[in-house]
Amino acid sequence: MINFTIEDRNGERQDLEIPEGINLSLMEVLKASEYNILATCGGMALCATCHVQVLNGFNDLPAAQDAELDMLDTLPDSDSDSRLACQIRVNEAIEGAVFRIKSDEPD
């Protein structure tokens, strides 16, 4: 099992335990776990509505690709520890990580 923590927009934390080998993105797991994530583009790194801040484990993640970095550059609240949840694969690399949901809540 892969264990990591999500902090919602209210600062409340929940530990998630996901089976290894599911081949999903963090965005897909957040939506399946009923977090209020818009994910307008469906995971193509085109909208930034799945913006997360990596509070713990940032250096363990694969580096962001150009499309993700370009999209993060458009966000006023993006920081050096920002990522798009759609571009993070749920695998052993995120074991123990802590993610804070930063994207705006859908209307």
Q: What is the pLDDT of residues 33-74, one digit of tens each?
A: 999 999 989 999 999 999 999 999 999 999 999 999 999 999
pLDDT number for residue 107:
62
Alpha helices in 35-96 (DSSP H): 66-73
Parent domain of 54: 2-101
CATH code for the domain in which residue 10 is found: 3.10.20.30
- Confirm whether 107 is domain-assigned: no
Does any domain span residue 106? no
pLDDT higher than threshold 80 for residue 80: yes
Sign of CA dihedral 94, 45, 82, 101: negative
The token pair that represents 40 in the structure block: 């307008």
Which stretches of the chain are assigned E, i.e. beta strand? 2-7, 13-18, 51-56, 82-84, 98-101
Q: How many domains are there within the chain?
A: 1
Those residues with Cβ within 8 angstroms of residue 64's Cβ, 6 or more apart along the chain or in another chain: 72, 83, 84, 87
pTM reported for the whole predicted model? 0.94
pLDDT cut 90: percent of the chain above it = 90
